[in-house]
Structure 1
Amino acid sequence: MSDWNNRFTHLIRQSRPNLWGNWALAPTIQPGAVGFVDTSTGAFKLVEETVPSLAVKEKLVSSSWKLSSEGVSRQQADVKGEASVIDPHSGLSLKPEVEFVWRFQNKDSIASEFAIAKEVAVTDLGILNDQYTWLLAAAEKVGFAQNGKIAQGFGVITEVVYAKSGLNIGANDKDASYTLGGTVKGLHALLGEKGPGGSVRASYSYSRETHSLDKHVWPATEGEVASELIPVAFAFSSFEGRTVLPAWRGRVNGLSLFLDSKASKGTTYITKAKLSYSVNGKRVNEPVTTISGGLSGSFANIPVNAQELEIELVFKGVFKDVRQTLSWAVPVAQWPAGVMHIDLTGTWPGQPKATIREDLNTGI
């Protein structure tokens, strides 16, 4: 059986790298919910309903969410000969007008389409520090704490993406298909293609499938209009001891810093990199790394509890060197997935510089 939630999360992270997927549309995914993420499945396990004194903020959104694996297609076809159904909005008897058909060429492929309605986030992550003692007690109940420190994987849901309607479909077999039939307006509204708001109610009249599928459709019943929003994806903050790890994506056992002088705008400079950090109050100086133009270098196996990390970059010039320093107070909390990429650019005699690369890490 496919690991649908991890596959879903991987798809989401190609555009939203901080999020986890909620493949089965579990209602326990709520802002402030306390529990742990099973990294083998990406599923959230609830321990406590919410953090005391927590506040959230809402952002209304009217958009279409559409993700799919390679080999997935959707077609629209006119319908003839189908029996009349009752329209959930007007109560009138109507003939279905169209069918949307999803076809899955490959086994384990996914289609995810929703009418997104809002995003809700915790107002201030400082509440996790304020409520650390309470959270520690909750973590101890489920074996996610030792010696007064919370272990990675336990934490709080800090952001949720909600949808009014939509579907997650996964193919257990190749050449599978899934069909929804209904009115043109009802089906488009169901998938957010005309926006989740407005006077049109999202609904479908019937469904059918070929071969084996794993499916989660909202509303779950044909001919009904959803009365509640459902959570599609979420961000999760965990801990490394007493350190909050915002937008946690998976266990971080060590830190790595990569220096690249062969990016799209490379450098002709030779660069000397000096890295230092503190561990348990002691300053550590790593051996200097030299990166020639067009090559790359790295500092791997930096301790996860390193603090006050600083890297000094010296671009060697003919007459004068150019120096640039970058620093992070708590890198395990500031580096997504425990990794930092720095691009080195500049062609002599122009000005060289070091730039933090845009976060494109999609690993789970």
Structure 2
Amino acid sequence: MSRLSPPLLVTIYVILVFSIEPVLAINVELNTLPDDYLSDTYTELIREAKPGWWGNWSLSKSVELGAIGVVGDDSSFNPSGLHLSNLKMKVSPLSEKLKVSTQHVLGPNVVSTNMAAGPAETSAQVTLKWEFSAKGAMSAQWILVEEQHLSNSADSIIRNMEFLKSVAREMNMLNPLTGEISQGFGVITGVILAKSGVNLASVSDSAEWSISGEGEGLQGMLGNANAFASYASAESSSNIVSVLWPATPNEVTDELVPIAYTFTSIHGETVIPLWVEKINDFELIFKNHSSYIVIATVSYHSSEGRAERQTKISGFLQGSIGDIPLDATSLKLRLEFVGSVPYTTLHNRWNTPLGTWLTGKRHIDVWGLWPDHPSFTIQEEE
């Protein structure tokens, strides 16, 4: 993920409005953020609530089930314009409110309420305000109503491997010498759809953004999945990048927008579900907090047959076992504690690390001071 680089001084005044895309508004006199910052940071926030998902900061309509393309180093999806066909889709209704933010964000807070004629719950005019005290601070709030998944996505990808290779070749994601697909190329296999919400990011160290409208419409936009979402106006007193849905004031729409997605990538011809970063092999990393000498043994099956690897880790030191192939299955871990009384051996098993070890790693913490009984924990599974 990217980090903020030194400010680039640019003076810009632009509001981009697309007929089929949400509004992306950048307000004036701004020090720009790095190109990849918005997508990277938004994905980090999404993963706080939805591990393994990618964020769709701009609400791009190219993010849809079965879409073929590349997830780049900037965490954004670059579509090929092509899709897998004849797919089976599973749709699950949601009724969730997603609210995530970085540090240095306050809000939304009610800053004004004006009563008009009519029922109070529908006619009260409300203004909500967000305050940002650091460049790059980000907030997102969405009403999630639907999750879509491809059924048997790995089988579908394997059946279409030759077609996918031809698309990868056109996108410069196929090794011309080996004919293998490079990681980062693949298929969108899950999408979360929202009925309304907002993405906000500050491009200065002090910024405010507010939205106004009838109380019921704002509640429907940010808090109530069963109410119609609408607003009368959105304003920024300084430098804010904002993405809103509905895209225009006083608009009520039934159209849903994609705010996040899962991606299945391909390594050669190996299908990697829930792909979040490039991994070439699997690795177990041991941190021995105990006084025991630990003999760690890993066994597994792969296309090359059965294999077993071992390492010895002295008390209060670290060790690792790596170079485990991506097609490893039936992976077993055995930990022997030398000198324990009674002699202790602990075990763990993973049927298929692929698609569950999202970063390709498992961090094992070993505990116990002689003569106490030893134990271990797995950081990613706590």
Name the TM-score, length of structure 1 as normaliser: 0.83
Which residues in structure 2 correspond to 1:100-139 (within 5 Å)? 100-125=128-153, 126-139=155-168
2:93 is aligned to 60
Q: CA deviation at 1:207?
A: 1.4
What SS is found at the alignment partner of 1:337? coil
8 Å Cα contact 2:362-2:380 kept in structure 1:
no
8 Å Cα contact 1:256-1:339 kept in structure 2:
yes
1:227 is aligned to 254
Write out per-residue CA displacement over residues 5-36 of structure 1, whole angstroms, 9 at most, x where no aligned residue.
10111122223220111000101111211111
CA–CA distance in structure 1, aligned partners of residues 157 and 97 of structure 2: 32
Equivalent of 2:357 in 325, 328, 335 = 335
Residue identity opposite 2:96 in structure 1: S
CA–CA distance in structure 2, aligned partners of residues 246 and 101 of structure 1: 39
Q: CA deviation at 1:354?
A: 4.3
CA–CA distance in structure 2, aligned partners of residues 318 and 219 of structure 1: 64
CA–CA distance in structure 1, aligned partners of residues 364 and 350 of structure 2: 13
**1:186 and 2:217 matched:** yes
What SS is found at the alignment partner of 1:30? coil
Structure 2: unaligned runs, 5 residues or longer: 1-31
2:297 is aligned to 274
Q: CA deviation at 1:189?
A: 1.1
CA–CA distance in structure 2, aligned partners of residues 306 and 203 of structure 1: 49
1:204 is aligned to 231
**1:25 and 2:59 matched:** yes
Summarize the Cα distance change of 1:350–1:53 in structure 2 as closer, same or farther, 3 Å threshold: farther
Structure 1: unaligned runs, 5 residues or longer: 88-93
8 Å Cα contact 2:340-2:373 kept in structure 1:
no
CA–CA distance in structure 2, aligned partners of residues 333 and 141 of structure 1: 26
2:20 is aligned to none
1:91 is aligned to none
Q: CA RMSD in A?
A: 3.0
2:191 is aligned to 160
What SS is found at the alignment partner of 1:288? strand
CA–CA distance in structure 1, aligned partners of residues 339 and 54 of structure 2: 46
8 Å Cα contact 2:270-2:327 kept in structure 1:
no
**1:297 and 2:319 matched:** yes
Summarize the Cα distance change of 1:245–1:158 in structure 2 as closer, same or farther, 3 Å threshold: same
1:357 is aligned to 379
Residue identity opposite 2:344 in structure 1: V
CA–CA distance in structure 1, aligned partners of residues 308 and 361 of structure 2: 19
CA–CA distance in structure 2, aligned partners of residues 123 and 282 of structure 1: 29
2:112 is aligned to 78
The structure, 1 or 2, with the larger RCO (C-alpha pairs under 8 Å, 6+ apart) is: 1
**What percent identity do the matched residue pairs reach?**
29
Q: CA deviation at 1:117?
A: 0.8
Summarize the Cα distance change of 1:358–1:255 in structure 2 as closer, same or farther, 3 Å threshold: closer
Equivalent of 1:238 in 260, 265, 268 = 265
CA–CA distance in structure 2, aligned partners of residues 331 and 61 of structure 1: 28
Name the TM-score, length of structure 2 as normaliser: 0.80
What SS is found at the alignment partner of 2:359? helix
**1:44 and 2:77 matched:** yes
8 Å Cα contact 2:96-2:144 kept in structure 1:
yes
8 Å Cα contact 1:71-1:109 kept in structure 2:
yes
